[in-house]
Amino acid sequence: MVGSYALPVFWAIITVSEVEALFELFKSISSSVVDDDLISKEEFQLAIFENRRKENLFANRIFDLFDVKRKGVIEFDDFVRSVNVFHPNAPLEDKIDFSFRLYDLDSTGFVERQELKQMLNPLLCESEMMLADEVIGFFFTKYKTTSFQVLYNGKDG
């Protein structure tokens, strides 16, 4: 148990000290706007950008994936479960699944050209780069079967 939270039993790859560190991070983030032991989207944005008003599609998608229970907030167990995917010892399949779901904006099980464009353009804009539709089309056509399909265990999309 960390704080008043029971630890999930399936986190064999995370050590107790890592969970304790995650608990401290969670407490810090979840009390940055309202001290309620929940991370709101505003607190998540503040933790990432040090600015609660900055909107970012990538950050919003990560928040949505961390919000496992779809309550509009992240609870500690969801935080630990979600952050676990970034652990060096997390299974590659979990990392691939997370990456795929990050780009599958409409949760259809496919990463479509428009979704790829929606995710790439804001990331590139931050570095003052833009991709023409033809370049995204080329990337999508060329790498669709060699990247996500192969990495995502041969599933279509």
pLDDT at 56 over 80: no
Neighbours of 38 (CB within 10 A): 19
- Co-location of 60 and 31 in the same domain: yes
CA dihedral 69, 71, 76, 82 (to 10 degrees): 50
Overall domain count for the chain: 2
- Co-location of 39 and 61 in the same domain: yes
pLDDT at 152 over 60: no
How would residue 149 be classed by pLDDT, with cut points 50, 70 and 90? very low
- Co-location of 124 and 75 in the same domain: no
- Co-location of 113 and 64 in the same domain: no
Which domain does 131 fall in, by range?
A: 105-156
pLDDT of residue 143: 55
- Co-location of 77 and 143 in the same domain: no
- Co-location of 62 and 111 in the same domain: no
pLDDT at 150 over 50: no
| 84, part of any domain | yes
Is the pTM higher than 0.85? The answer reads: no
- Co-location of 120 and 147 in the same domain: yes
How would residue 66 be classed by pLDDT, with cut points 50, 70 and 90? very high
- Co-location of 84 and 119 in the same domain: no
> Looking at residue 89, which CATH number applies to its domain?
1.10.238.10
- Co-location of 129 and 62 in the same domain: no
pLDDT of residue 142: 60
Q: Please report where in the chains the tokens 């699944």 appear, as a residue.
A: 97
pLDDT at 92 over 80: yes
